[in-house]
Amino acid sequence: MSLKATIKTIHKMRKTILTVILSMSVILCFAQDAKEQIVTALQGQQEELTKAFKDKDYRKGERLCRPMINMADTSKALSQWHKSAIKNNAYYNMACIYSLNGQKECAINAFKNAVELGYSNYKHALADPDLKNIHGEEIFRKMIRSLEEKYDYLSILKKSGKYKGDEKTSELPAFTYLAQDDPRLVNLRNTLNLDSIAGNGDEISQIKNLCLWVHNTMRHDGGSMNPEGKNALALLEVCREENRGVNCRMLATALNECYLAMGFKSRFVTCMPQDKNDQDCHVVNIVWSRTLGKWIMADPSFYAFFTDKKGNLLGIDEARAMLVEGKVVRLNPEANWNGKKRDEAYHLDYMSKNFYWFSCPVASTYDCETGGMAEDGYVILAPGDFKPWSNDYLTRNPDYFWARPE
């Protein structure tokens, strides 16, 4: 998953620059000195900006926003995404300043700049009292409608089209799962003492304990580069030696191998958005529960599980179908991002975006992607007539994709 997913919009958009800063201080992988200089400078400007809003000193607030934009434009240490994130938040703050100061035209232009740089939270903009003076302006409403069409992820998901359960799949490969007595899995189990981590409780508690251990042991870092070795032991080692985190794909890879080593049938699944220009996706695990007779979604990035309103654990297929049907889906209250509580509404919206189509390796094995792509290829599950941007095995039959493991 990318850093975009970590930046949660909070009550006042002028505060989100600080959220970007704090995310960078944990996540960015450029030179330490450059990182510290940028973080320190932006934090100082953010503190002054917050005070300017509190004092209603809008002229000073405008002056403080411009250096943030200039810093993003000139920095060689920031990625293009971080530059856009800092600038669109700065322009949003300027729109608030101009609106509060009665400068409607300036406010609309600043908001337009924010949108062009990737601002997407139309719900917040409509509810933000700082923008009250331009809420009734037709050009503002037009921009909001355009954002809604592009970023109302649940609405987009509901329009995705139906799967084709009668589609023939005889020519598609069967999913396979590495046996727990494979020497590499035996070594993993013994080296990490996975029996102790899983505990002596029932199956569900073991599934959760293993997910929680991976979540707590390896920090999630959506902006990190993938290391050369992509197996659980190699990932743990690089996190310890370099004091770094790994992205959602690496976390799901590690958890998948731990599940396999403990005798659970599991896969890691890439959850993809409809928009091919959206570079953010999310990778989670599905693990087969013999007790429940179904797949359960386990997300080690956030220690996240979905349930229905009665608390019954859900698989990806169930959660997606319930969202499409407008039924209640709950996020476990323990879900968090590196110790920070995960907001349920935000997470459901995020996963609605990434539940559009799915990709999964044919073979669930050890060291699946070290050296490149999975050796046996991938299977894609897509809805309706949607055409994924991939040349892998394609199916529109959910019964095949979510088949009970042999």
Look up the pTM and report it: 0.82
Above 90 in pLDDT, residue 169?
A: yes
Flag whether pLDDT at 379 surpasses 70.
yes
Residue range 175-227, pLDDT digits in tens: 999 999 999 999 999 999 999 999 999 999 999 999 999 999 999 998 888 99
All domains of the chain in start order, with CATH: 3-151 (1.25.40), 169-401 (3.10.620)
Q: In whole angstroms, give the CA distance from residue 66 to residue 372.
A: 43
Segment 222-241, tens digit of pLDDT: 888 899 999 999 999 999 99
Arithmetic mean of pLDDT, 77-97: 89
Over the stretch 342-368, which tens digit does the pLDDT of each residue have? 999 999 999 999 999 999 999 999 999
Mean pLDDT (whole number) for 7-22: 40
248 CB-contact burial (10 Å; exposed 0-12 / middle 13-18 / buried 19+): buried
Which residues does 277 contact at the CB level (< 8 Å), separation at least 6? none
Q: Which residues on neighbouring strands pair with residue 340, listed in sequence order?
A: 337
Q: What is the pLDDT of residue 36?
A: 64
**H or E stretch at 336:** strand 336-337
Q: Quick one: residue 266, left, alpha or beta (phi over 0 = left, psi -120 to 50 = alpha)?
A: beta
pLDDT confidence of 335, banded at 50, 70, 90?
very high
Cross-strand bridge partners of residue 271: 282, 358
Confidence at 13, pLDDT banded by 50, 70, 90: very low
% of the chain beyond a pLDDT of 70: 91
The amino acid at residue 188 is L
pLDDT tens track for 37-75: 777 777 788 888 889 988 999 999 999 999 889 888 988
Give 81's pLDDT tier (boundaries 50, 70, 90): confident
Q: How confident is the model at residue 283, as a pLDDT? A: 98
Q: Is the pLDDT of residue 14 over 80?
A: no
Return the amino acid letter for 363: A
Give 40-84 as a 3 state SS string: HHHHHHHHHHHHHHHCCCHHHHHHHHHHHHHHHHHCCCCCHHHHH
Cβ atoms within 10 A of the Cβ of 156, count? 17
Kindly report, residue by residue over 112-139, the tens digit of the pLDDT.
999 999 999 899 999 999 999 999 999 9
d(C-alpha 75, C-alpha 116), whole Å? 20
CB 289 within 8 A of CB 204: yes
For residues 307 and 5, which has the higher predicted lDDT (pLDDT)?
Answer: 307
Residue-wise pLDDT for 238-256, tens only, equals 999 999 999 999 999 999 9
